Amino acid sequence: MRDPHNERSSAFAREWNVPLVGGYQDVIEADVDAVYNPLPNDVHLPWTLAALRAGKHALTEKPLTLNTVQAQELAVAAEDGGRVLLEAFAYRFQPHVTRVRELVQSGVLGEVRTVRGPSGFH
């Protein structure tokens, strides 16, 4: 699979003196259990799909894909291969998010109709 951003990546690496250790095809073919796909949004589908089809679990930056059809294609590939597919939303693993979910599901707050909350990082 040709990486359409390879020329841009190579130019960046030369400009900033960053060593290149191989392309994503090398990662797909490597003896690893999982891959992280931080590439530009328009190549999330082909490279994540390649990883799943190669038997690797995949963590892909957000947005996972450009549309629901692509997302469904990845979901099917992950399920068919028995692999984990995650979109990189770290907040859902934070303890306070787990606690809020527990409170809502317990019913102690009553019927929750709307939730508004700021989110930020510092």
- Give the catalytic positions in this structure: 62
DSSP lists the bridge partners of residue 87 as: 60
**CA 71 to CA 88: how far, in whole Å?**
14
**3-state SS class at 76:** helix
Q: Quick one: tokens of 6?
A: 């390879």
Collect all residues with Cβ–Cβ distance below 8 Å to 96 and sequence separation of at least 6: none
DSSP lists the bridge partners of residue 57 as: 34
**3-state SS class at 66:** coil
